[in-house]
Chains A and B, each alone.
Chain A
Amino acid sequence: MTEVTQPALTIDALGKKCPIPIIMLAEQINYVPLNAVVAVLADDPAAYTDVPAWCRLKSHRHVGSYELPEGGWAIHVRRNY
């Protein structure tokens, strides 16, 4: 198993419907240094697809999505620029 980089920032978007988790991510990604990881906690199934799609559109890197024990995912994004 590969090492999961410790996120520099965790955004709690649990219980929030898309596009709110994406809006929160877009607002806050610039709070972390370049190459740092932001974790978005979300349980809206749309976020599971939309966070990686946002990364592709915005040229950030989707590191991985990890299931949370209480449901939902921690979706890790690396700031690219």
Chain B
Amino acid sequence: MYPVAYFDAASSEPLHPQAREALLAAIDAGWADPARLYGAARRAHLLLEQARTDVAEALGARPDEVSFTASGTQAVHLGVLGTLHGRRRAGRHLVTSAVEHSSVLHAGQVHEREGGTVETVGVDLSGRVDLARFAEAVAAPGTALACLQTANHEVGTTQPVAEAAGACRAHGVPLLVDAAQTAGRMPIPPGWSVLAASAHKWGGPAGVGVLAVRKGTRFRSFLPEDERERRRVPGFENVPAVVAAAAALRAVRAEAEREQARLSALVDRIRTRVKETVPDVEVIGDPVGRAPHIVTFSCLYVDGEALLTELDKAGFAVSSGSSCTASTLRPSHVLEAMGVLTHGNVRVSLPRGTRADEVDAFLAALPDLVRRIRQDAGVA
């Protein structure tokens, strides 16, 4: 049995050892209700607020701007719909890019069903939003909110968030920034009004998302009234998981610059070598302006599911945006919006600590697997 090389960090980063340690300690120390006034409750409250302070500092927010959610998806849902709700008087129009995470697009669909309008701004072949059109869309009267991710979750391309924020500011429109793929890896770009992130993508446990709402941004939860998390997120906080999430963020930030540069060099190696060794391959996304850990490519004439199965058998855990590998019959909306090949798609996303020899083993195995699948399909 070969050890599996795990290359799906964009789905979930393995738990950081310091997060594990913090989680175990906090399960014992932080179980009580942080809203109560006895000793164990005060202890839980202190742990929660220290974690909030740490996460806020890491993301460039004030502690009272930060709320913890049950996931990154929930942070986006609450952030999008809560800001739209808070800005009802300003208008009912939402602007997003075509390649946002499905949580943004699905929140937009709810908004449309409630009578709101959504404008989806297209991207270029690299997956980067058309900034001029985004700015134009934001300027339209009645725009209540704009959404833009820091980097795309499928192809890695970074978005011009600071520039988009400038356009939003000029028109008094809040910008929700989905930082799920880059928080803990890259600095958070300036100018956000609402920020969403997910702890298990930076090495924290699953079940913790972050929703930060900048002071002065109108926000009103659309959910039933609840006192927790400054009325932004209902329900009892998972204090031990939040503490672990903060510990992971502290740990990865301390090593981020060096580790992400190292992963980025490995991604460069994959981008170059795949083109050299696999015929008829399209390496997707911006080669330079990208998240450090993500690379995606599509192999012509190859069934994505077959390739993932073969890679899994060979000991490589990767993901794919091809339709047959997703739960839907449609290919990834990101690849569609970019106009790139959607079949035979493989996303490699490197977790912290990925070794060069693991990447080299992947690069050595790939060409033959692709060749065999093509052969089986009758492609010469």
Interface residues, chain A, CB within 8 Å of chain B?
17-20, 22-23, 26, 44-46, 48-50, 52-54, 56-57
List residues of chain A with CB within 8 A of the CB of B366: none
Whether B282 lies near A57 (C-beta < 8 A) is: yes
16 additional A-B residue pairs with CB within 8 Å, beyond A18-B323, A22-B343: A17-B323, A19-B377, A22-B300, A22-B301, A23-B378, A44-B329, A46-B342, A49-B331, A49-B339, A50-B341, A50-B343, A52-B339, A53-B282, A53-B339, A54-B341, A57-B282
Interface residue tally on B, bucketed by range: 20 to 34
User: CA separation between A49 and B340, bound complex, in Å?
Assistant: 7
A61 vs chain B, min Cβ distance (A): 15
Interface majority SS (helix, strand, loop, mixed), chain B: loop
Whether B300 lies near A45 (C-beta < 8 A) is: no
List residues of chain B with CB within 8 A of the CB of A57: 280, 282, 300, 341
Residue in A closest to B306 when the chains form the complex, CB atoms: A19
B313 vs chain A, min Cβ distance (A): 20
Q: Please list the 3 inter-chain residue pairs (A to B) with the smallest Cβ-Cβ separation, ordered nearest first.
A: A18-B343, A19-B343, A53-B341
Between-chain CB contacts (< 8 Å), 23 pairs: A18-B322, A18-B323, A18-B331, A19-B301, A19-B303, A19-B344, A20-B377, A22-B300, A22-B301, A22-B343, A23-B379, A26-B300, A45-B330, A46-B331, A46-B342, A48-B336, A50-B342, A52-B339, A53-B340, A53-B342, A57-B282, A57-B300, A57-B341
B183 contacts A by Cβ under 8 Å? no
B180 contacts A by Cβ under 8 Å? no
Given contact pairs A22-B301, A54-B341, A57-B341, A49 touches B379 in the complex (Cβ within 8 A): no
B363 contacts A by Cβ under 8 Å? no
Whether A46 lies near B323 (C-beta < 8 A) is: yes
B256 contacts A by Cβ under 8 Å? no
Residue in B closest to A52 when the chains form the complex, CB atoms: B339
Whether B329 lies near A45 (C-beta < 8 A) is: yes
User: CA separation between A17 and B331, bound complex, in Å?
Assistant: 11
User: CA separation between A39 and B165, bound complex, in Å?
Assistant: 44
User: CA separation between A50 and B339, bound complex, in Å?
Assistant: 8
Residues 117-149 of B, flagged 1 when their CB comes within 8 A of A and 0 if not, give 000000000000000000000000000000000
Whether B324 lies near A26 (C-beta < 8 A) is: no
**Per a CB cutoff under 8 Å, which of A26, A46, A52, A56 touches B343?**
A46
List residues of chain A with CB within 8 A of the CB of B341: 49-50, 53-54, 57
B177 contacts A by Cβ under 8 Å? no
**Per a CB cutoff under 8 Å, which of A23, A48, A53 touches B301?**
A23
B155 contacts A by Cβ under 8 Å? no
B335 contacts A by Cβ under 8 Å? yes
List residues of chain A with CB within 8 A of the CB of B282: 53, 57
Whether A45 lies near B323 (C-beta < 8 A) is: yes
Whether B377 lies near A23 (C-beta < 8 A) is: yes
Whether B335 lies near A17 (C-beta < 8 A) is: no
Given contact pairs A46-B331, A57-B280, A18 touches B342 in the complex (Cβ within 8 A): yes
User: CA separation between A64 and B114, bound complex, in Å?
Assistant: 35
User: CA separation between A22 and B303, bound complex, in Å?
Assistant: 11
